[in-house]
Chain A
Amino acid sequence: MDSGLDNNGPLNRFLAEVERRAFQMAKFATRNRDEALDLVQEAMSQFVRHYSTRPAEEWKVLFYRVLRSRITDWHRRTLVRRRIIAWLGRPNDEDQEDPLQALPDTQNPNPSEQVLRQEERGVLERAIRALPLRQQQAFLLRAWEGMDLKQTAFIMKCSEGSVKTHYSRAVHALRGVLEEKLS
């Protein structure tokens, strides 16, 4: 029987498919590359440990549910830490931009188009990062991952009505920023 856990099994292929998007989602939430990698690692370990025996068609929703849960935990911990740091009066350098983000993609043959696309991407990513966490998650899951309302509600552990509200606010906020800069 195919265990799915070996390096060529279906579970490995599934994780290889989602890992980059998962990393991007975690990075939007944390604004930090290393923290995002840690969160993806935690989510993958937990997912494989608890859900690898579930049917493959459930994997995507379950994986994103685990990831969202890890991100929310991280967010909670960070808020507490920031409050303590603010109370102690120390500077907080966690909000700084990732320097790797600014590196150009040297593989693109058309530099001017590439620069334009990078700028647009930067605008969009900054706008997504500026969203409140729940709006950010609702937007990424619905608009990017193509999850339906029910799946998104399951992942976010909230009602479908809440998902609609978060998503609609996110789209409204992003439209305000992007229509001006991307048009």
Chain B
Amino acid sequence: MNAKDPEKLLLEKAKDLLNLGVESLGPQTERQLGDIRIRALSAAEEKRPGSFSPRRWVMVGGLAAATMAAVALFFWLSPSPESLPTGHVEDLEIITSKERMDLYQNMDFYRWLETTENGARKNGKAS
């Protein structure tokens, strides 16, 4: 250390006095700081993912059991494929039928045909 450097000396002195301040905080403040530290660590321990408390294991277990019961109930109550009404299959055939799609695609032609026929009938009546 350069003893002649006044700035360094000043900083050393300041550091020394600041350390002195830390050493003489008083027992009450030191106790409060210790309490704060323990509280911060305890709160983090409680919230920490992976640190499962027995209470949390019970909650997770209960949730898993309830989910399994709900799934079992769903399968138990849902109708089996054998009892599907035949009408449903017929509806499916109508929906997937290619002819129906052709009908919709040629709708313009059928409209034109109807208009033409109607026009011819009116002309026939008029004459």
A and B: bona fide binding partners: yes
Nearest CB on A from B126, distance (A): 91
List the count of A-B residue pairs having beta carbons below 8 Å apart. Answer: 98
* B37 and A144 within 8 A (CB): no
Contact B36 A48 (CB under 8 A): no
- Tell me if B10 is interfacial: C-beta within 8 Å of chain A: yes
Interface size on B, residues (CB 8 A): 32
Residue pair A19, B33 in contact (C-beta under 8 Å): yes
Q: Is A100 an interface residue (CB 8 A)?
A: yes
Interface string of A99-133 (1 = CB under 8 A from B): 01001010000000000010011001100000000
Measured between beta carbons, the chain A residues less than 8 angstroms from B25 are 20, 23-24
Taking the complex as formed, is B121 at the interface, i.e. its CB lies under 8 A from any CB of chain A?
Answer: no
Our pick among B17, B24, B30, B40 for the contact of A124 (Cβ within 8 Å) is: B17
Q: In the complex, which residues 45-66 of chain A have their Cβ closer than 8 Å to any Cβ of chain B?
A: 45, 47-49, 52
Number of interface residues of A (CB under 8 A): 40
A45 contacts across to B, CB distance below 8 A = 39-40, 43-44
- Contacts of A16 on B, CB cut-off 8 Å? 34, 37
Q: A interface vs B, CB < 8 Å?
A: 3, 5-7, 11-12, 15-16, 19-21, 23-24, 33, 37, 40-41, 44-45, 47-49, 52, 100, 103, 105, 117, 120-121, 124-125, 140, 143-144, 171, 174-175, 178-179, 182
Q: Residues of B with Cβ closer than 8 Å to A? A: 6-7, 10-11, 13-15, 17-18, 20-22, 24-26, 29-30, 32-34, 36-41, 43-45, 47-48, 51
**5 nearest A-B pairs in the assembled complex, by CB-CB distance:** A44-B40, A48-B44, A41-B36, A19-B33, A45-B40
Report 28 cross-chain contacts, Cβ distance below 8 Å, ordered by A residue.
Answer: A5-B41, A5-B44, A5-B48, A6-B41, A7-B38, A15-B37, A19-B34, A20-B25, A37-B32, A44-B36, A45-B43, A49-B44, A49-B47, A100-B26, A103-B26, A117-B17, A117-B20, A120-B13, A121-B17, A121-B21, A124-B14, A124-B17, A125-B21, A143-B14, A144-B18, A171-B10, A175-B7, A175-B10
